[in-house]
Amino acid sequence: MAETVVEVQNVTRCYGKLCAVQDLSLSVEKGESFGFLGPNGAGKTTTIKMLTGFIKPDRGTISIMGHDIAREDIEAKRHIGLVPDEYGLYDDLTAADHLRFYGRLLGMHHSDREAAIERSLKRVELSEQTNKKTKGFSHGMRQRLVIAQALMHDPAILFLDEPTTGLDPVGAKEVRDLIKKMTGEGMTLFISSHLLFEVQEMCKSVAIINRGRLLKKDTIENLSTVLKNKTGRQLILLLQNPVEPVYKAVAAVKGVESITVEGQAYKVRVNNPEVQFEIPKAAVDAGGRIMAYYEVNPSLEDVFMDLVGVGK
Amino acid sequence: MTGFIYTVITVFRKEMWEHFRTKRLIVIGAIFAFVYVLLALYGNILTGAGTSGYNFERGANAVLTTVLAFTGFFPGLMAIVISYTAIVGERSRKSLILLTSKPVKRPALFLGKFLSSYFAIVLVYMVVMTVGFLGCVAASGKVPSLEEIGRAFGAMAFVLFTMAAWVAFAMFLSSYLKNPITVAVAAIMIWFLVMPIVSQIGFIYWIMSNNNDGAPRNVDVGLQQVPFGNATVVLSGLESPAYAVYNETGPVPGFAFGSYYTVSNLPPGNYSWTASGTGIKRAGTLSIDGMHSYTVSFGPNLNVQAARDLNVTLEKGGRLLAPKTESKGPFTNYTYENETGEGRLVISSNGTVLFSGNYTLDRQARRGMGAFMTQTPPDYVKYNQLINPDSAMTGYEKVLDPDSRASISPSEGAGALAVFFGAFMLLGLLVFTKTEMV
């Protein structure tokens, strides 16, 4: 049985009458890359702040590697690496100065610390910037340095809160690649994000939260399958000539529930697996010229929208 | 080394490093140095106009006394400027979240930040003060005794204590408020209101006060006549006073300032005066005739300042001691150094004795912090009597006023400062430790 790194039990946190998190329970196993999803105001940031010991829950318990974060915060924090969504660096310190400072706060001894500085900067590909002041760092470089400080002590779990927010496409891709690399290395990650495609790319399992309550927690694959079973299969018919007669012919096939036209593509939802062979035939018979025909599984976005709902 | 102390040292080192990489410390030091030089020179000019001689002639401690007296407000302001961003700066820069995500105790972070702000400002203060002191020594040409050096640096050490209190105060606001500008405005506004109190209990009053042990103090009720043109009469000596001078026809208008009342341009004639203050009422008469005058002040040294045509002699045990004389404007200063015990003072003009009488040089033990800076114990220089020898004056008295306590005792002052410091350290620690800062 996998070791539990994070255990959250019946946690509630309210600000006055407004409860940001209500009766939340979840766990993260060792080696899991865990996505924490929710719309704005769902309670993600409050949850992360509770998990990392910045605020205390009104009710319930949170333990990190078996240490209650409320009562044994020092011990619990030894196992945590944090990349917050908003952070600041000390402009007049170099990259190495930053890591040296944080390494000391982590209680690392000189030789371990210096080795960790070298290793962490190499890991985030900032070795060449070791002795440069962070004043001149780009947003992406700053983000990577913050990831480096979180990795210095090889934490049991790394919390990443909106890790690519505010980065340009190049910087965002660099950070995503870095996170994927860490996933491949078996690190336990807890990623909070509202960018669903990113989470789908970086995580194996997710929890979806809305209005402070946990809606679902499972692997992305399982969630997708459940949705597929619930809503039916979705087939994509890409046509050279998406004309009216073709549309009518496909719509007339028995078992076709709905068709959504997006440019040259028909998104066809069906309730019967056998019908997939009828659709191209009907299209060709009606004069359609098919460029591609394939099935798509529900994306994380589909799952998310199904659970949370548009505009809710 | 425990984790707590290691954290304090780590934060201290990093903060000191940052202090010295920013320009704030240099700017503060430069402004303070400029103010120091200005006050040393200004104070010298100011005191040179009086009877006590120029500061630089009296030595480095005299200069330092003036500088400290006029810069009572500065150390607090310096302490606030260096420390107000300690916590709120981290918060607004959003670096606090990384700092507090580490497995460290928050009081250790607070203490490290306090110590770094404090030592940074102490360093600047002491560099300016020490260089200034050495400059004053060089300018005065008088090598201070070990005791004088001890007094000078003792007074500075006391200032450092007030700075610690102000750093603690700024750290509290820095923890409590969320915006650096709000912290700066609030800190300076409160400093402006509280500063006179804290400065006085801190050091100024102790250094400058006549009587610093908190006991009932001597109150002098007397007259000074300033000998230029028609006479100027100065009544002084009481706290919260009401003075008046009368001629035959009624009150003569004068100018009140603090514990002084000045009536200028009085022609020769007969006058009366009244003085009332805390629990004391005195009255007397005054006759002004001619412009000959002298001043006598009693300290460890007997100092006589007289108009030029006066002869001043000092007899002790039948032996006449030669005074050190110096001309200063219309006056001649006679200084009888290191005279103690009883003697007889004779002041004459053109062979006519205008005044003769016994004097006593009183040597009391120096007490408390007030003795730090003054070269002569404060009690001796409290009264600088200016008497017209051709005038008759009655009513001068020296009384012990049981209701008038001089200033605040050293223990009370230190206690008040300790409370000020301790309260804000505790509040700051509580806020920083218990509040959800991010």
- Which DSSP category does B200 fall into? I
Extract the tokens encoding A101.
Answer: 């400072």
Asked if residue A153 and residue A217 are part of one domain, the reply reads: yes
Cβ atoms of residues B288 and B298 within 8 Å: no
Cβ atoms of residues A84 and B98 within 8 Å: yes
Mean per-residue pLDDT, B272-290: 74
Asked if residue A144 and residue A161 are part of one domain, the reply reads: yes
The boundaries of the domain holding residue A283 are 232-308
pLDDT at B373: 36
- Residue B167's pLDDT band, with cuts at 50, 70 and 90, is very high
Asked if residue A105 and residue A242 are part of one domain, the reply reads: no
Asked if residue A132 and residue A276 are part of one domain, the reply reads: no
Least confident of B33-37, B83-87, B221-225: B221-225
CA proximity to B66, closest of B90, B89, B100, B42 = B42
Which sign does the torsion angle of CA A165, A169, A173, A174 carry?
negative
Residue of A nearest to B90 (CA): A88
Q: Kindly list the residues from chain B whose CB atom is less than 8 angstroms away from the CB atom of residue A104.
A: 6, 10
- Please identify, among A198, A224, A250, the residue that sits at the C-terminal boundary of a domain: A224
Asked if residue A206 and residue A236 are part of one domain, the reply reads: no
- Residue B297's pLDDT band, with cuts at 50, 70 and 90, is low
Q: Kindly list the residues from chain B whose CB atom is less than 8 angstroms away from the CB atom of residue A77.
A: 101-103
Asked if residue A168 and residue A259 are part of one domain, the reply reads: no
> Mutation test of the interface with chain A: which of B6, B13, B97, choosing the one with the most A Cβ atoms within 10 A?
B97
Asked if residue A33 and residue A97 are part of one domain, the reply reads: yes
- B14 touches A at CB < 8 Å: yes
Asked if residue A220 and residue A238 are part of one domain, the reply reads: no
* Integer Cα distance of A252 and B177 in angstroms: 68
Among A282-286, B143-147, B376-380, the range of highest mean pLDDT:
A282-286
Number of domains composing chain A: 2
- Please identify, among A174, A195, A224, the residue that sits at the C-terminal boundary of a domain: A224
**% of chain A residues with pLDDT over 70:** 99
Q: What are the tens digits of pLDDT across the range A126-165?
A: 999 999 999 999 988 999 999 999 999 999 999 999 998 8
Confidence check: pLDDT of B383 > 50: no
- Which DSSP category does B364 fall into? P
Confidence check: pLDDT of B206 > 50: no
Measured between CB atoms, which of B10, B22, B97 is closest to A101?
Answer: B10
pLDDT at A76: 95
Extract the tokens encoding B226.
Answer: 């300033």
More confident call, B4 vs B292: B4
Mean per-residue pLDDT, A50-60: 92
- Please identify, among A191, A224, A257, the residue that sits at the C-terminal boundary of a domain: A224
Mean per-residue pLDDT, A249-270: 91
Confidence check: pLDDT of B243 > 60: yes
ipTM over 0.85: no
- Which DSSP category does B379 fall into? G
More confident call, B398 vs B135: B135
Residue type, B358: N
Identify the helix (H) or strand (E) that includes residue A244.
helix A244-251
- Rounded to a whole number of angstroms, the distance from the CA of B104 to the nearest CA of chain A is 6
Over its C-alpha atoms, chain B yields an Rg (Å, rounded) of: 27
Confidence check: pLDDT of A170 > 90: no
pLDDT at B226: 55
Extract the tokens encoding B71.
Answer: 């810069």
- Point out which residues pair with B68 in neighbouring strands: none
| Mean pLDDT value across chain B | 74
**What CATH number does residue A64 fall under?**
3.40.50.300
* Integer Cα distance of A168 and A299 in angstroms: 24
Asked if residue A249 and residue A117 are part of one domain, the reply reads: no
Confidence check: pLDDT of B313 > 90: no
CA proximity to B372, closest of B227, B258, B231, B209 = B209
Q: Kindly list the residues from chain B whose CB atom is less than 8 angstroms away from the CB atom of residue A73.
A: 103
Confidence check: pLDDT of B170 > 90: yes
Asked if residue A144 and residue A18 are part of one domain, the reply reads: yes
> Mutation test of the interface with chain B: which of A56, A82, A104, choosing the one with the most B Cβ atoms within 10 A?
A104
| Mean pLDDT value across chain A | 90
Least confident of A38-52, B23-37, B152-166: B152-166
Mean per-residue pLDDT, A277-304: 90
Q: Exposure string (b/e) for B287-314, b if CB count within 10 Å is 16 or more?
A: ebeebbbbbbbbbbbbbbbbbeebbbbb
**What CATH number does residue A275 fall under?**
3.30.70.100
Least confident of A300-309, B135-144, B181-190, B304-313: B304-313
Asked if residue A151 and residue A238 are part of one domain, the reply reads: no
- A52 touches B at CB < 8 Å: yes
Least confident of A53-62, A167-176, B390-399: B390-399
Asked if residue A141 and residue A242 are part of one domain, the reply reads: no
- Residue B294's pLDDT band, with cuts at 50, 70 and 90, is low
Task: Give the CA-trace dihedral at B315, B317, B318, B324, to 10 degrees.
Answer: -30
Residue type, A168: D
